[in-house]
Amino acid sequence: MVHIYELPFFMKKTIIVLLHIGFWLSFALVILTMLSIKLENNADWEPAQYHHFLQVVGSMVVLPAVISFYSFYLFLFPKFLKQKKVVPSILYGALIVLLSVAIAFVFIPQSFIGTCGTENGSQTLFALLVFMCFVTLICGIIAMVILGFITWFEEIQVKETLRNQNKETEMALLKSQLDPHFLFNTINNIDVLILKDAQQASSYLNKLSEIIRFVLYETKSENIALRKEIEYIEKYIELQRIRTSNQSYVNFEVIGSTDDLTIAPVLFIPFIENAFKYTTNKKLKNAITIVIHISNGRMTFTCENRFDPTRKSPQGSKGLGLSLIKKRLHLLYPDSHTLKVDTKNDLFRIHLTIADDKL
């Protein structure tokens, strides 16, 4: 069974074209029905009268309908309604309707307008203008419904495609938090520390236990409190510090309030893991700098680390890989995040920004 989100690109375009054709065929059917009724009641008309009537219908109904439909479709919906700007949508929608009717009015045969010049005719003209506005508005609304359906269809397709493509990514991200090398190295370091400082070794062992508990249970949720993610990062950094006597080679800082903010679990750890993995000189001060900054309606995560540029494998090319992380970010925060990766000399830098309203 082929799902709708798995349709090839040309088939999606075909569906869009068919929706447009279907609407205009329905519109034409309504017009032809009205024409047939009118013509049956005026069977004695001359050919010139038929031509004149068709010209009036084309200018008063068809022309404003086309202008309104594609103005709503190409301008109003993507620029305002899709952005949930309700008031501007209403104002611009009314303006489009009036302009469509005004443009169409220019093409109405003068002979027809002349028949509306009498006292009773003016009422007829007003009624026709109201009718034109009504038809124009209905066509605009239908255009937005069609484009709304297409937009919904595309969003479902993108989300489902990304979910299918990123199942392995999600598993790899979670499994990476239980990296055997990290666990073995940490346990060995704690084992050595037991003989030197049993109390500190116990503290580190508790941190490792909390990390494992976090990975096994907290990561099952779609979102967790940002403070829990930060606590996890702090424990992870403390365990990494066991491996060196230089306690200042890692600088971790949180700026701003984390209250009431949530985030996808283990979102930052892959970047931090890579930083520790590729920082070979642990004697440097601030060899790794990690900053989480929350302000002005956005959260910024920056991770910098010094690395050896002469190594054969560039940072991020092994293990989890930046490509997998980018896919996950695109799935979790589409159109609401930016990720910049910079490498300059021996400095590797990750800069991730997420809109605050998505947290």
Summarised one tens digit per residue, pLDDT across range 88-130 is: 999 999 999 999 999 988 888 766 666 655 555 566 778 888 8
202 and 60 in a common domain? no
What's this model's pTM, rounded to 2 decimal places? Answer: 0.56
Q: Output the CA–CA distances (angstroms, integers) from residue 250 to 176, 241, 297, in the order listed.
A: 21, 8, 27
Q: Verify that 118 and 193 share a domain, yes or no.
A: no
Higher pLDDT, 123 or 199: 199
Strand, helix or coil for residue 264: coil
Give whole-number Cα distances, 29 to 59, 249, 306, 334, in Å.
17, 76, 70, 41
- In angstroms, the CA 108 to CA 100 distance is 13
pLDDT of amino acid 40: 75
Same domain, 42 and 185: no
146 and 176: one domain?
Answer: no
**How many domains, the chain?**
2
Q: Are residues 220 and 327 in the same domain?
A: yes
Of the three residues 134, 150, 165, the one that is the final residue of a domain is 165
Helices (H), 197-284: 198-217, 226-241, 269-278
pLDDT at 121: 54
pLDDT of residue 251: 94
**Range of 70-79, 327-336, 349-358 with top mean pLDDT:** 70-79
Cβ contacts of 20 within 8 Å, gap of 6 or more:
146
Residue 45 DSSP class: -
Q: Which residue has the higher pLDDT, 182 or 167?
A: 182
Last residue of a domain, one of 104, 135, 165: 165
Ranking 167-176, 195-204, 326-335 by mean pLDDT, the lowest is 167-176
264 and 147 in a single domain? The answer is no
CB 233 within 8 A of CB 268: yes
Residue 148 domain boundaries: 4-165
Do 213 and 295 lie in one domain? The reply is yes
